[in-house]
Structure 1
Amino acid sequence: MGRAEERRARQRGGRRAAPQRHRSSGVAGKSGIRRFFTWKKILGTFLGLCLLGIGGFIVLYLMVDVPKGNAAARLQSNVYKFSDGSVLARDGKVNREIVDLSKVPEEIRNAFVAAENKSFYKDSGVDFKGTARGLINTLSGKGAQGGSTITQQYVKNYYLTQEQTVTRKLRELVISLKVDRQMSKDDILAGYLNTSYFGRNAYGIQAAAQAYYRVDVDELDVEQGAYLAALLQAPSQYDWAVASETGKKLVKARWHYVLDNMVEEGWLSSSERQSMKFPKPREPKAAAGLEGQKGYLVDLANNQLEEQLMEQEGISRSEAETQVKSQGWTITLNIDPKKQAQLEKAVEAELTSKLDDKERPVDGDIQAGAVSVDPKTGKIVALYGGKDYFKHYRSNATRNDYQPASTFKPVILAAALENEAENQDGQTIGAKTVYDGTSKRPAVDADGKKVGFAPPNEDNVSYGDVTVQTAMNKSVNSVFAQMGIDVGMDEVMDTAADLGMDDDLQAVPAQTLGTMGASPLQMAGVYATLDNHGKQVTPSIIKSAEQHNRTVEMPDPIGEEVLSREAADTVTSVLTGVVDDGTARRSVRENPARDGQEVAGKTGTSDFGRSAWFTGYTPDLVTSVGLFGEDDKTGKQVNMKGATGTLPGTGRVNGGGIPASIWAAYMFGVTDTDAEFDLETDQGAAVEPTWTPTKTQEPTQTPTQEPTTQAPTTQAPTQTPTQTPTNTPTTEPPTDEPTTEEPTTEPPTDDIPEDPVDPDQER
């Protein structure tokens, strides 16, 4: 059939058009598919999915609440500073110090907005396009990608985690919308700046400012702020100190990007922008930890802040500790870095460098503690707590379980002067008052009855009749035992409490030997009150304590007058004799480093040689130094006999030795050489020479003995006594009973020499 016939057949509807019907069959198939995927159906499906998505989002929005902040995001370190503002230490698991937005300069805030989210102040808190891109990348396994707003980043840091999951991203979207409605933009920005990680273990902008530029956030300039803002994109890659050449190029480009955006937003002028140079950050510095003496300083600061919070807010100790520990405090101490360094140097030179526990095993049991206080302000300017905070956790500066021994004698004299007490002869007690200095002389009450207390003098030396001044110089126990009875032990303990010692001390005669416990901190406060003419000094280590926008007012270290000026000044005058003509003469008066400083002070050596002290002062500084025997393994108190620095022939450590040497090595390097005591008194060594009575007694040998008090004056000996004392102490017997030989001295017939024994060999 020709083509013409085919055409005619088709026109007639003939059946010879089969081939064409085959093609038509294909067209009909396509039309069926088109009918299934019509634009109306596609649009309907799309709209349905949109409605489903909107409905799902509404349900999600209603179901997801803004959670409590992530606990880890709230963790922060406390920052401790020296008095000059330099950082002493940071204490906390996370190096973060939360700051109020008001402390962040406006141009620094703008730098971060310019870097991360220029529309921050206008948007609703989310970037839908960026979030969708992030979801797709997560689903496809491509990982994280930027594009989040500042609000979203804050939500991720503070409310959520850093995991990359679809669930977390959806929650981030919803929470961000809610947070943007519930919080102000400033609060969101503050949260973002305080929770972001900047590298170098620095969380938050304050820690970053210190880590990279060694300044507080309010001291950052625009260039530095722009670098920190640029850093957030890749902290480890963009840290200039460790960045590769590529990393340095990238962070510089990012830095320029931030500044250009600031100009574009009108936050920075073009002229200022052109003059700016890239601010290279400083080299990384190891975190200021608690090693060495730092831990002791931090612990005392925390303790004093806790006590103030307990006082102000009426909370318990545990509650106060919770409020202080790792809660973002900035605590500035009164510690002077130069004086602190000098004190540490003095201990090293006079003690620790000389210790050799292989040559002398007891050297391993020697511990020093010291506190230095400005008597006019009450500021603790230096403190030594032990060999190292991580090696000896307990602070020797604040522990109060060692006897202060004869450093308590000035308190007895102060009580006598304040109460205008009289001796047994009815004479008002003063520097010239004469007492019987015979060793082991029984103390008697006002009726002349023995009170059962007859303490021996050091080495059982008898002095006969001596003035109070001489008794203080030579630390004569029998004199101050009787003086305590004359004054009244209740009055003595009241004066001790007024001066800063514990207020629950037992009022028994044995306390005249300083048998209570006390710390260098307490004794420094007692002597500072004397130096401050009787106005109470409560030593304080805290200069200021701030947390965010909260400041805790610390109490004034200088209190009211607890001792009359005349009484305080008289004690000071008497104590100058201890330095110039007594037990501290060798280490202090004759010290070549002394440059004319006026000095008052008192030595002390406790029973069994467990502690030795020198607490002394110049007109402008008070320092108490203690040396303590402590078993390195058990922590128990031990005798320091045989340790480095002991007296030749005796093996004893004493207050006029190492403690006084440490004191002098420190004090004569930091005190004012021109300062003078302004004393309102006509008594004591500072105003006239010490009068020495003619009736004295001299031992024929240097004996040892068994003491009759709770507080024996010598170390535990090896011999058995030949005789038992007749007087019974009024306190409990000592836990370590010495077994020394009873002295066999002859009755004195002649005057004793000026110094019957080495003046450093005293209680």
Structure 2
Amino acid sequence: MGRAEARQARQRGARRAKKAGGIRRFFTWKKLLGSFFVLCLLGMGAFVVAYLLVPVPEANAQAEMQSNVYKYKDGRILTRTGTVNREIVGLEKIPKDVQMAFVAAENKTFFEDAGVDLKGTARGLLNTVTGKGKQGGSTITQQYVKNYYLNQDQTVSRKLKELVISLKVDREKSKNEILAGYINTSYYGRGAYGIQAAAQAYYRKDAGKLTVAEGAYLAALLQAPSQYDWAVATDTGKKLVTERWNYVLNNMVGENWLDASTRAGLKFPVPKAPKAAPGMEGQTGYLVEAANAELERQGISEDRIKAGGWTITLNIDEKQQKELTRAVDDQLEAKLDRKGDKRDATVQAGAVSVDPKTGHVVALYGGVGATEHWLSNATRRDYQPASTFKPVVLATALDNGSETQDGETIGLNTIYDGTSKRPVEGSDTPFDPENEDDRDYGRVTVQKATNSSINSVYAQMIVDVGPPKVKQTALDLGMKDGKGWPADRPAMSLGTMGASPWDMAGVYATLDNHGKRTSPTIVKSAEHRDDKADIPDPIGDQVISREAADTVTQAMTGVVANGSGRNALGDYHAAGKTGTSENNNAAWFVGYTPELVTAVGLFGEKTDGTGYASLNDTVNPGRANGGGVPAQIWKQYTTGALDGGSDTKFDLELLEPVQQLPTQTPTQEPTETEKPKDPDDKPTKTQKPDDKPTKTPDDTPTGTPPTRPGDSSGADEGTTDGSTTDGSTTDGSTTEGNTTDGSTTDGSTTEGTTDGATSGRPVKP
């Protein structure tokens, strides 16, 4: 090699050495380590900045949404409302071993860790970046943060936020708060959010009654709710959830949270089949509406109720509720052709039943169904109570010691003139109401006038008492003020104001409860995790004297035993009153036993809901009346609600003993119904509660009333008027031509058959 070539070789080697040395100098261990520390510092700095800048947000809307749960009085669920089936429960209501099942399933180190799993989070971030899908391994705290504060998005930014917020939440909240939040926000399948809804959906029990085996299944379910739901799971899904169930329990034993011998005895708790949550159909919607309205009256706003989270227990008795619905179906709906007959389609029914000793509404009927007829007939006040208001007039007279125009103190034995269209005396407003079918009764007792609902007698009585006093008594007893209260007019005696079955049940419950104000109450309790409704005592002050209330009760036993309410006779002691409004667009029976008060109303309503309709030729040929279908509904329901009947008697303290006094028969045949004379009291074609009719029908029931052996009214077993079925009386005399009120067609009376007021004590049919 020449000198020139050698020199070139040395130069090339030098260049290679220089180049190699430069690379080594750049990638020295010191420089690599320094770069790593710089990156770590930058990462830590970025994390510190993120920790400082990323706040713990408000809860997302979905996490705080809850349903309201409505229950019967015995705790059985009536329905749930709301778009999210969730009821948040405190950790203290969940059994301890069930709590630990969730920890064993998801995060055994939950009580020791700082709220995050860095390794699992890093793995999740890597899988998200590389598109490998969802990644588990998060702590309970992280899952709670995702459910409560964030969302289910699988993005890098969401996962980083989850990490930061989890650290903060772990420092700011106790482990119990976090565990409770996790259990209450997780989705369990079957539309159930939270452990309470899940316990009901899978085992039909409250979370507080779950066993450890059931809790372990619900904890296992969270990994794959759809795949692990036993009712729809494939064989593989059932195998997997069974393995996970065992995994949960074995972890509990390993952590000393469950005794090994107890674990050995546990069997897989197969969940119940899915069941659709009850909705608002049938009577449910009416019950929920009535409960919500009552809560609003107690100061809980509609918005707060709609926000959810309430557990509302009603006073409704499930058995009695079914009995009431069945009675309406049997006695009314079975007789109607709603689809084929336009007249039948106008008939609406409403009823409310109350325990007079407590004021609790134990049953309510609002109509054919809340999803079909949204307006509740149980609480609407746009129909007149008609003659069911007459006991209020009598109660006012008795409580005030009122006197007739002749100065006689008014009592059940007081004689009035029952002549139809008789002008009232002592009133500045002329009034001459017509009795039903224009019947003249002549001189009758107040008891007889109550039995037969004689309009002319009660029109005079309200003048004798004073209409303003009667209105005040009505309000004291529980009726509501408003239009239709002609406080200075005698037409009020015929029930011209608006009232609902709810209102009238309250009035009669107060009478049944010896004059102590009894306000119907449907809500037993209403609880929220942050609040509790204050339910006032339904039993209030003495609003009329016991003697006045009891004497009215005595008068109305005659209505059931011998008067217009005979279709309500049953194996119980009962009092009640019928009512039928002008134009026959409402028919009522309101009655009670010592244990139960029930108001039943039929209402004629145009099918488009725009006005009133007549009940003529609907539930029966001709006019409807309170002594017909309403009394029959009342009887069937009361019999069923009292398990066939009752021997309990009214405990009455009367103002005076009731005497048997003769009555006169009508002095003329019924004439065609005439229009009211007084233009001020003339009803309009479409009647409203403030219309002022001058007559109310007498409510004579249709058909032959049932009878009871051993009736203390003096009637023989065969009939209710003291006559036997062959026309002879029990003392051997004949009763040919007897009327239903105990009088004969020749003007004489038969013994023991006056007004149902025979012995001063309640009559047990």
TM-score, shorter chain, exceeding 0.5: yes
SS at 1:536 equivalent = strand
Deviations 1:86-127 (A, max 9, x none): 110101111000111111121111111111111111111111
Which position in structure 2 is the counterpart of 1:582?
A: 563
Question: Against the structure 1 CA distance between its residues 516 and 541, is the aligned structure 2 distance closer, same or farther, given a 3 Å change threshold?
Answer: same
SS in 2 for 1:98: coil
The residue matched to 1:309 in structure 2 has which SS?
coil
Cα offsets for 1:174-194 (capped at 9, x unmatched): 111111111111111111111
Instruction: Name 1:653's counterpart in structure 2.
Output: 624
Q: For each residue in 1:272-302, what CA deviation from the matched residue of structure 2 results, as whole angstroms up to 9, or x when unmatched?
A: 1111111111111101211100011011111
**Could you list the per-position Cα deviations for residues 424-479 of structure 1 after superposition, in whole angstroms to 9, with x for gaps in the alignment?**
1111100000101111111121xxx6631111111211111111001011100110
**Cα contact 2:67–2:81 (8 A) shared by 1:** yes
**Match for residue 314 of structure 1?**
none
Residue 313 of structure 1 corresponds to which residue in structure 2? none
Per the TM alignment, residue 560 of structure 1 is displaced from its structure 2 partner at its CA by 1.5
Matched residue, 2:394: 413
Going from structure 1 to structure 2, the CA distance change for 1:332 and 1:500 (only over 3 Å counts) comes to: same
In structure 2, what is the Cα distance between the partners aligned to 1:697 and 1:340? Answer: 43
Of residues 449, 467, 470 in structure 1, which corresponds to 2:445?
A: 467
Aligned to 2:360: 379
Q: Which runs of 5+ in 1 are unaligned?
A: 2-8, 311-319, 718-730, 739-748
Could you tell me how far 1:37 is from its partner in structure 2?
2.3
Alignment of 1:470-489 (within 5 A): 470-489=448-467
Residue 387 of structure 1 and its aligned partner are, at CA, apart by 0.4
Structure 2 CA distance for aligned equivalents of residues 618 and 413 of structure 1: 19
Q: 1:673 aligns with which of 627, 643, 646?
A: 646
8 Å contact kept, 1:331–1:545: yes
Match in the other structure for 1:597: 572
**Partners of 2:680 and 2:380 in 1: CA distance:** 20
Instruction: Report the Cα distance in structure 2 between the residues aligned to 1:506 and 1:60, rounded to whole angstroms.
Output: 74
Describe the SS at the equivalent of 2:416. Answer: strand
Residue 44 (structure 1) shift: 2.0
Q: 1:528-548 deviations in whole A, cap 9, x for unaligned?
A: 111111111101111111112
- On the 8 A contact 1:601/1:614 being kept in 2, the answer is yes
For 1:256-267, list aligned pairs within 5 A: 256-267=246-257
Contact 1:443 1:450 in 2 (8 A): no
Mapped partners of 1:220, 1:478: distance in 2: 66
Q: Which residue of 2 aligns with 1:52?
A: 42
Q: Secondary structure at the match of 1:435?
A: strand
Q: What are the residue-to-residue correspondences of 1:553-568 with 2, within 5 Å? A: 553-568=534-549
Contact 2:682 2:694 in 1 (8 A): no
When the two chains are superposed, the root-mean-square deviation of aligned CA atoms in Å is 2.7
Q: Which residue does the alignment assign to 2:480?
A: 502
Where does residue 141 of structure 2 map in the other structure?
151
Aligned equivalent of 2:172, options 182, 197, 205: 182
Q: Secondary structure in 2 aligned to 1:669?
A: helix
Whole-Å separation in 2 of the counterparts to 1:485 and 1:65: 75
Given the alignment, which residue of 660, 663, 673 partners 1:704?
673
In structure 1, the residue matched to 2:265 is 275
Relative distance call for 1:489 and 1:466 in structure 2 (3 A) is: same
Matches within 5 A, 1:2-21: none
**Distance across 1 between alignment mates of 2:680 and 2:666:** 24
CA-CA distance at 1:347 after TM superposition: 0.5
Q: Distance in 2 between matches of 1:733 and 1:398?
A: 22
Matched, 1:692 2:662: yes
After TM superposition, give the deviation of residue 327 of structure 1 in Å: 1.9
Query: Equivalents in 1 of 2:609, 2:553: separation in Å?
Result: 39
Counterpart Cα distance in 2 of 1:709 and 1:110: 79
Aligned to 2:736: none
Following TM superposition, by how much is the alpha carbon of 1:359 offset from its aligned partner in structure 2, in angstroms? 4.9
User: Aligned AA for 1:674?
Assistant: D
The one-letter code matched in structure 1 to 2:108 is K
Instruction: Report if aligned partners of 1:350, 1:661 keep a CA contact under 8 Å in 2.
Output: yes
1:78 aligned onto 2:59: no
The amino acid that maps onto 1:501 is M
Task: Say whether residues 1:391 and 2:362 are aligned partners.
Answer: no
Give a deviation string over 1:142-174, Cα, whole Å, max 9, x none: 111001111111111111111111111111111
Q: What letter is aligned with 2:527?
A: E
Distance 1:177 1:18, change over 3 A: same
Please state whether the residue corresponding to 2:640 is helix, strand or coil. Answer: coil
Q: Partner of 1:615: helix, strand, or coil? A: strand
3-state secondary structure, aligned to 1:381: strand
* Identity across the alignment (%): 58
Gaps of 5+ in 2: 698-743, 756-765
The 5-angstrom pairing of residues 169-208 of structure 1 reads 169-208=159-198
Following TM superposition, where does structure 1 have runs of at least 4 consecutive aligned residues deviating by more than 6 angstroms?
17-28, 710-717, 731-736
Q: Give the match for residue 639 of structure 1.
A: 614
The whole-number CA distance in structure 2 between the counterparts of 1:327 and 1:364 is 36
- Return the letter of the residue paired with 2:619: T
1:243-258 aligned at under 5 Å gives the runs 243-258=233-248
Residue 537 (str. 1) matches residue 522 (str. 2):
no
Amino acid at match of 1:370: A
CA shift at 1:218, angstroms? 0.9
Distance 1:711 1:654 in 2: 25
Inter-partner Cα distance in structure 2 for 1:753 and 1:182: 92
Q: For 1:657, give the aligned amino acid.
A: G
- Correspondent of 1:616 among 591, 594, 599: 591
What residue number does 2:493 align with?
512
Which deviates more from structure 2 when the two are superposed, residues 468-477 or residues 326-335? 326-335
1:133 aligns to 2:102 (yes or no): no
Distance 1:555 1:753, change over 3 A: farther
How far did residue 32 of structure 1 move? 4.1
CA contact (8 A) 1:467 1:693 kept: yes
Alpha carbons of structure 1 residues 440 and 150: separation in structure 2 relative to 1, 3 Å: same
Q: Give the 3 Å change call, closer, same or farther, for CA 89–109 of structure 1 in structure 2.
A: same
Match of 1:325 in 2: 306
Classify the secondary structure of the residue corresponding to 1:616: strand
Quickly say closer, same or farther: Cα 1:267–1:750, change in 2 above 3 A. Answer: closer
- Residues 313-341 of structure 1 show CA distances to partners (whole Å, capped at 9, x for unaligned) of xxxxxxx1122224211111111111100
Which residue pairs with 1:727 in the alignment?
none
Deviates more, 1:23-32 or 1:616-625: 23-32
Q: Secondary structure at the match of 1:157?
A: helix
Contact 1:127 1:149 in 2 (8 A): yes
State the SS of the aligned residue for 1:546: strand
Which deviates more from structure 2 when the two are superposed, residues 414-423 or residues 46-55? 46-55
Relative distance call for 1:710 and 1:83 in structure 2 (3 A) is farther
Change (3 A) 1:77 1:735: farther
Cα 1:699–1:358 change in 2 (3 A) is: farther
- What is the CA-CA distance between 1:693 and the residue it aligns to? 3.0
2:598 partner amino acid: T
1:361 counterpart SS class: coil
1:663 aligned onto 2:634:
yes
Shift of 1:701: 4.0
* 1:347 match: secondary structure: helix
**Aligned mates of 2:749, 2:133 — CA distance in 1:** 90
Judged with a 3 Å threshold, the aligned counterparts in structure 2 of structure 1 residues 733 and 261 are, in CA distance, closer, same or farther, namely closer
Match of 2:408 among 400, 410, 427: 427
SS of 2:205's partner is coil
Letter paired with 1:605? T
Instruction: Establish whether residue 350 from structure 1 lines up as the match of residue 336 from structure 2.
Output: no
1:585-643, CA deviations, whole angstroms, 9 ceiling, x for partnerless residues? 2x223xxxx3x211110000001111000000111111000000111113311112221
CA contact (8 A) 2:582 2:693 kept: no
